[in-house]
């Protein structure tokens, strides 16, 4: 089975369309989204509808729950908070209903998906260090966990002392556990502005994290025209 993974779209329609075209080229058999469909960008309805209409298995991100009142936004930074309020006023009722029913975790035969962490997924913590990875490996019952949230692709491998790598081609070894952050479609923060996604071929036992360029200027113009925080537009071109 060939799975296509994406996450942290953040209402960036141009980036999402670019990744979906790549899914077609890659002949992906199953689409998977790790949450944060909305927030920051200017096309929340269009992005939610593309996820709904393309048969995605999807879990909730903190922005998805925030816009439907399932997550307190007091800890959000000012840019994120303003975007959540705007998005909540912009979304259709059908799209709000879809986001509201999203769960925090889903299991598949060979992997599990979450937005942030396996350990206390509703706390929206990060897996950034080998210590974070060690704590989450204890909760992992499948060979692989795919996650996102930080917008930075990174791979953790369970060994006596967990190892990390920025290698974008991962061979899944039998009897070893992996935590794989697939990066962000619509708000990359690893200094690479291209949209990020992942392909997992379970027959070849291989995960590839890939990038695709998209029309950043149009996405930026839409953010400015919607009078959303300009920082969200600026970050698209710097990838940070």
pLDDT number for residue 10: 98
pLDDT digits (tens, 9 = 90+) for 114-132: 999 999 999 999 999 999 9
Q: Is residue 87 helix, strand or coil?
A: helix
pLDDT digits (tens, 9 = 90+) for 156-190: 999 888 999 998 999 999 999 999 999 999 999 99
Angstrom distance (rounded) from CA 8 to CA 40:
10
Query: Does position 59 have pLDDT exceeding 90, yes or no?
Result: yes
pLDDT digits (tens, 9 = 90+) for 185-240: 999 999 999 999 999 999 999 999 999 999 999 999 999 999 999 999 999 999 98
Angstrom distance (rounded) from CA 99 to CA 123:
18
pLDDT number for residue 160: 82
User: What number is the average pLDDT over the span 54-69?
Assistant: 97
Counting beta carbons within 10 angstroms of the beta carbon of residue 100, is it exposed (0 to 12), middle (13 to 18) or buried (19 or more)?
middle
pLDDT number for residue 161: 85
Q: What percent of the chain has pLDDT over 70?
A: 100
Q: What is the CATH number of the domain that holds 215?
A: 3.60.21.10
Number of domains in the chain: 1
Residue 30 C-alpha from the chain's centroid: 16
**Residue 116 domain boundaries:** 2-238
């Amino acid at each position: 089975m060939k799975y296509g993974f994406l996450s942290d779209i953040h209402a960036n329609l141009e980036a999402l369309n670019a990744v979906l075209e790549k899914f077609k080229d890659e002949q992906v058999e199953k689409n998977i989204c790790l949450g944060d469909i909305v927030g920051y960008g200017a096309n929340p309805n269009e992005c939610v509808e593309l996820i709904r209409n393309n048969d995605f298995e999807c879990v909730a991100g903190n922005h998805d729950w925030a816009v439907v009142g399932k997550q307190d936004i007091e800890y959000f930074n000012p840019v994120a908070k303003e975007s959540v309020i705007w998005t909540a006023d912009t979304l259709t009722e059908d799209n709000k209903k879809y986001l509201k029913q999203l769960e925090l975790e889903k299991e598949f035969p060979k992997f599990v998906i979450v937005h942030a962490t396996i350990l206390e997924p509703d706390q929206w913590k990060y897996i950034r260090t080998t210590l974070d990875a060690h704590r989450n490996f204890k909760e992992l019952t499948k060979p692989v966990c795919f996650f996102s949230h930080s917008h930075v692709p990174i791979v953790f491998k369970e060994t006596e002392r967990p190892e990390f790598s920025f290698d974008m081609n991962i061979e899944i070894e039998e009897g070893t556990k992996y935590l794989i952050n697939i990066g962000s479609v619509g708000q990359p923060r690893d200094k690479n502005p291209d949209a990020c996604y992942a392909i997992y071929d379970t027959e070849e036992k291989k995960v590839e994290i890939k990038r695709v360029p998209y029309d950043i200027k149009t996405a930026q113009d839409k953010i400015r025209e919607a009078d959303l925080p300009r920082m969200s537009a600026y970050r698209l071109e710097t990838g940070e």
